[in-house]
Structure 1
Amino acid sequence: MSRPVLILLHGVVYAGAFAVLQGPWFSVVLGACLIWASVVDFERFEIPDLASLFLFVTGLAVAYGAGVLVWHVAGAVLWAALFWAVAAFYRRYRGWDGLGFGDVKLIAGIAAWVGFYGTIWVVFAAAIAGIGMLLINAVLKGGQFQGSQQSAVAFGPFLCFSAWAVWLTGVS
């Protein structure tokens, strides 16, 4: 899939949801960062550090304005630590990366926006969607599951779409 098509697809979904739910103006910042991280991760299995940093800083600014900064900082730190621990554990016992450090930084940025509790729903929805994608890929390939190294799926886009849904529904 080409980059312009990916950006257009993301833009239509994000803009459509934003228009229907009429979120606050700073949701545009969140949506733009999520699109950026999602498209790059889909194409290169890499999340730009600058996208994660911008998500983190702007998320904390919004949390500060809402008076919930402490919970969002705590969520960012705890979720990043949890993702890092899972990535390190997987790497140690499987011998390859199953969750990259870009995902660790991305979840910190997402948690800065949706807080500790909202991130629970982000991770849950992203995991279900990612597993669903692996199952769909297996079915499309004639029921042959390739194994985890051959069936790599970028997790960032699932985190980004889930974060957008949680943000717009206010589940945090």
Structure 2
Amino acid sequence: MIAGIIDIRSRRLPDYVTLPLTALGLILTLALEPGAILPHTLAALLGFLAFYLIATLYRRLRGHDGLGLGDAKLLAAAGAWLGPLNLAPVVFVGAVLALVAALILRLLGRNVSLQMTLPFGPFLSAGFFGFWCLKISGWSPF
């Protein structure tokens, strides 16, 4: 959740938050579920690559950034902690929460347009945290 707060304040997800988070996820996976280290490592790579490709494509099509590499590194951390089956649900929940936030801003009279920027880190962090809570409670469907 700290990553989300930093992103709100600075519009950045710094490496000193995201990279240790990824490493810690892999270390804990190795310690607690040694047989899951390969899927979790692949999930971290897949998470990063997916957002990296989206960010690159967006930049080429629109001429400016729309998704930062900090978001890609945060999704890599989610993959390291949660494994590959949770990546899509984490992104989905983050996207829905971001859309709800934009709708609330609109209802409050704020100008919501295609030029508006909204940091994605807080919403991605919320999805990550929610699915992590489900996982440690044993309620995760994955």
TM-score, normalisation: structure 1: 0.74
1:54 matches 2:20: yes
**1:27 maps to which residue?**
none
1:112 matches 2:77: no
**1:79 maps to which residue?**
47
1:168 matches 2:142: no
CA-to-aligned-CA distance 1:110-131 (integer Å, 9 cap, x gap): 1100111112111110011011
In structure 2, distance between residues paired with 1:161 and 1:103 = 13
In structure 1, distance between residues paired with 2:27 and 2:87 = 17
Offset, 1:48: 1.3
Identity of counterpart residues, as a percentage? 33
Is the partner of 2:4 in helix, strand or coil?
helix
Q: Report runs of 4+ in structure 1 exceeding 2 Å deviation.
A: none
Offset, 1:81: 0.6
Query: 5+ unaligned residues in a row in structure 2: which ranges?
Result: none
In structure 1, distance between residues paired with 2:103 and 2:64 = 21
**1:148 maps to which residue?**
114
Aligned counterpart for 1:96 among listed residues 54, 59, 64: 64
Counterpart amino acid of residue 88 in structure 1: T
CA RMSD in angstroms, aligned pairs only = 1.3
In structure 2, distance between residues paired with 1:107 and 1:168 = 16
Offset, 1:38: 1.3
Q: Which structure has the higher relative contact order (CA within 8 Å, separation 6+)? A: 2
